Amino acid sequence: MTAKSQAKWTEDALQVLRVDRGFRLDRVSPDATPGYGGTKADGARDLAAGLAQLAEYQERLYAASHGGTAKDAVLLVLQAMDSAGKGGIVRHVVGGVDPQGVALAAFKSPTEEELAHDFLWRVQKRIPAPGMIGVFDRSHYEDVLIGRVRKLADAEEIERRYGAIVDFERRLTEAGIRIVKVMLHISPEEQGKRLLERLERPDKHWKFNPGDVDERLRWPAYMEAYQTVLQRTSTDEAPWFVVPADRKWYARLAVQALLLETLEDIDPQWPAATFDVEAETARLRATL
């Protein structure tokens, strides 16, 4: 795999971070660096090298469907506790590729209109088109995470949703979308430090919300909700990946590796011309 071959990865990120049968979230250390044998400095270098690779893959992915007939797209789903680094992933991993090939959707608290529909309604509208790299900053998984912890829906409805999600995602993968679901796994200690920093720095106050502390107090309930989600919705078609996130540099590198390996697997090709190249060249030359 690409990410591995040019960097200090000792295993494929797609393998080592994958949630399989019997997975236990409480056995994953948030400050580990699974599959990566390098230091933070190595990580910075590998991230920079990976950006160029990702940018080229993205362009080929886009070209294959815009100049050709490929239907492939990628959908990166990011879920995490507050301050785990979703924003940093968007900025430092996704931000390195051409914005024209990225479709970013941030899902906040649902509006009245959204609440009046099934929970998948608003998500369906933001599914990436062929050739695009879609990114969900939060997603339909909120509806079985905060939805469960804060009892926004009853137990029967939450139960129904696991199945609905699996069916929904299977349908997306059948349409050509590779779904990469990432839980950024931060420790409560690290979160405490990061939230404190937001309170200590006036230029970070706008990122702080008193509700963040309320959610923090429900940590064990959230971990239980995540464990269930990971167990019930990690499928062959759309597996979950748990990325230890106490070290920002590792989390970014790992998500980049997941994207690179996924794109390498798609292996998008420059499409053949759909016009007569010689004839068009002659027609153009006549205007020069």
Q: Under the rule (CB under 8 A), what is the footprint of its own copies? A: 63, 66-68, 87, 90-91, 94-95, 97-100, 102, 104, 106, 137, 188-189, 192, 195-196, 199-200, 202-203, 205-210, 213, 216-217, 270-273, 275, 277, 280-281, 283-285, 287-288
Minimum gap (Å) between residue 220 Cβ and its own copies: 13
**Alpha carbon distance 93, 216 (integer Å):** 26
Residue among 131 and 244 whose Cβ is closer to its own copies: 131
Minimum gap (Å) between residue 118 Cβ and its own copies: 24
**Alpha carbon distance 266, 280 (integer Å):** 31
Residue among 136 and 240 whose Cβ is closer to its own copies: 136
Yes or no: say if 189 and 90 are a contact pair by the CB < 8 Å rule.
no
Minimum gap (Å) between residue 23 Cβ and its own copies: 27
Residue among 21 and 125 whose Cβ is closer to its own copies: 125
**Alpha carbon distance 90, 176 (integer Å):** 23
Minimum gap (Å) between residue 18 Cβ and its own copies: 26
Residue among 63 and 266 whose Cβ is closer to its own copies: 63
**Alpha carbon distance 124, 121 (integer Å):** 5
**Alpha carbon distance 274, 286 (integer Å):** 21
Indicate the DSSP class of residue 247: S
Instruction: Report the DSSP pairing between strands 73-80 and 177-185.
Output: parallel
Minimum gap (Å) between residue 61 Cβ and its own copies: 12
Residue among 96 and 239 whose Cβ is closer to its own copies: 96
**Alpha carbon distance 34, 12 (integer Å):** 10
